[in-house]
Structure 1
Amino acid sequence: MILLIASRELRRLWLSPVAWTLLAVAQGLCAWLFLLLIDDFRNLQGRLVGLENPPGVTDLVAAPLFRVAVWCFLMLTPLLTMNLISEERRSRTLDLLLSSPVSVAAIVLGKYLGVLVFLLGATALIALMPLTLGTGTTLDVGKLLAGWLGLALLVAGFAAAGLYISTLTSQPMVAAVATLGLLLFLCVIDLRTVGGEAAGSLLGYLSLLGHHDALLRGLFDSADVVYYLLFSVTFLGLAIQRLDNERLGH
């Protein structure tokens, strides 16, 4: 049943001109930046020759591309997740869905899986951009894969948070704005430069971008992966609890 709901949600996204327009804008911005980064790398090559351990194309092209892609998905994800539950509530089909013999967990996981597949496809398209440079230069495949993994995990967390916010309202645009605000807060929460050491350490751990930056540097740490998995599972659990309470209320 989860796969059936996921395929229905994915089909809705594939047939939505809004989703394709958003995806095209995000891909276009990343492609434009990719070309600018390649041009900058070519201009820097003469100065990099004299360095003992010069940064490669992965550090100067792929890593900045993935960093900017984060902000593209920060804007894109709330607009794709805002309809997951709130549209069902607004169109009054949520009551029918909750009264069906389908578990709440299956509903939440199915909708999450559908939008996640769509978003992961978008991250794969972005990862293919620097990968094309492998024919003419040497890529650090390990760093490239770590950077893509970080982006994929971050997007998975974005989608889980957006799904949960979508369960709280019947207005999709309210869900989109609330999701954007929450994700933006969690991205800039790292205030170690102005807070105390203990507070800074805690906020640094909670920061979504802090764990992503480590993966971009090629520093694969299972703690970063676990953080993103726990982040996603937490919001999915909150979404399930929210809808389960609503089902019991009926």
Structure 2
Amino acid sequence: MKMIINIASKEIKSFFVTPMGWIILALITAAFGTYYLEGVNSYFEVMSGAIRPAERVGVTIYVGQTVYGAAFFLMLFAVPLMSMRLISEERRQQTLPFLFTAPVSIVEIVLGKFFGLFAFLALMVVYIFLMLSTLNIWADIDFGYLFSNTFGLLLLVGSFAAIGIYFSSLTSQPIIAAILSFIFAFLLLGLESYFASQPNHWFHHVSLLKHFQTFSRGVISSKDIIYFLLFISTFIVLTIRRLDADRLRG
């Protein structure tokens, strides 16, 4: 556990000492802030009496849908860029053999890198929650809705991170790793709409979007939590097996 924490800490620090980490962090937080302001302004325009009181939507859901909906797609682009160098950079610089001979297991290496990336991404997710919480200054908001969406988004970015670290272990080119992880994650999300006319299709059961939508409605489902945890665990195990095969080949 200590080695996992040390590796995770090293990865987190690496994000803050490179321009890429700061650029992505700045762009993402600026985008969240923009969507937040647009959501608040739109809420006052739409709810100012243009519709009947019975049809009005609470400010938490109205603004939250705007911000979390944007976060869903922004993270789809951001996570592959953050994860692409985790292992592929080690392979490209030919430092991977040194990791294999270090007094640390492959499991600790993979988990340390994963949790380091996840902790960095979690900062952006928490930022969204804190930003939306400021609505409570002038309105009674639904914190249950915010907690549900925040928890769901954490599980989703964890899934993106697991996909990213797996594809990063397959190649020595970070850009290729980013492209592959983006395409794979996009397919898992986009095919949900492709099979929308076939609600009983097997793909609906493995779609990331379908399981995230439960949280986006303000509902925390144990079934969806288990799905995301199994999804993340699967790609972490695949990454471990990939690196273990590299170690055996020398």
Q: TM-score when scaled to structure 1?
A: 0.95
Are 1:216 and 2:216 matched, yes or no? Answer: yes
Partner in structure 2 of residue 3 of structure 1: 5
Using the alignment, how far apart are the partners of 1:62 and 1:46 within structure 2? 18
Using the alignment, how far apart are the partners of 1:193 and 1:112 within structure 2? 32
Partner in structure 1 of residue 236 of structure 2: 236
Partner in structure 2 of residue 204 of structure 1: 204
How far the C-alpha of 1:69 sits from its partner, in A, is 0.4
How far the C-alpha of 1:216 sits from its partner, in A, is 1.1
Partner in structure 1 of residue 144 of structure 2: 142
Using the alignment, how far apart are the partners of 1:173 and 1:154 within structure 2? 22
Partner in structure 2 of residue 173 of structure 1: 175
Deviation sequence 1:35-89 (CA, Å, 0-9, x none): 1110010112233773336320111001221111011111110011000000000
Q: Secondary structure at the match of 2:54?
A: coil
Alignment of 1:68-79 (within 5 A): 68-79=70-81
Partner in structure 1 of residue 45 of structure 2: 43
Letter in 2 for 1:139: I
Using the alignment, how far apart are the partners of 1:122 and 1:27 within structure 2? 7
CA contact (8 A) 1:63 1:147 kept: no
Instruction: Point out the more displaced range, 226-235 or 51-60.
Output: 51-60
Using the alignment, how far apart are the partners of 1:48 and 1:114 within structure 2? 47
Partner in structure 1 of residue 20 of structure 2: 18
The Cα RMSD (Å) is: 1.3
CA contact (8 A) 2:87 2:168 kept: yes
Q: How many pairs does the alignment contain?
A: 247
Match of 1:95 among 91, 97, 114: 97
Partner in structure 1 of residue 195 of structure 2: 192
Q: Gapped runs of 5+ residues in structure 2?
A: none
How far the C-alpha of 1:184 sits from its partner, in A, is 0.5
How far the C-alpha of 1:228 sits from its partner, in A, is 0.8
Deviation sequence 1:152-179 (CA, Å, 0-9, x none): 1100110011000000000000000001
Are 1:30 and 2:32 matched, yes or no? Answer: yes
Letter in 1 for 2:215: L
Letter in 1 for 2:239: A
Using the alignment, how far apart are the partners of 1:102 and 1:204 within structure 2? 39
Match of 1:160 among 140, 162, 166: 162
Q: TM-score when scaled to structure 2?
A: 0.95
Letter in 2 for 1:57: V
CA contact (8 A) 2:12 2:117 kept: yes
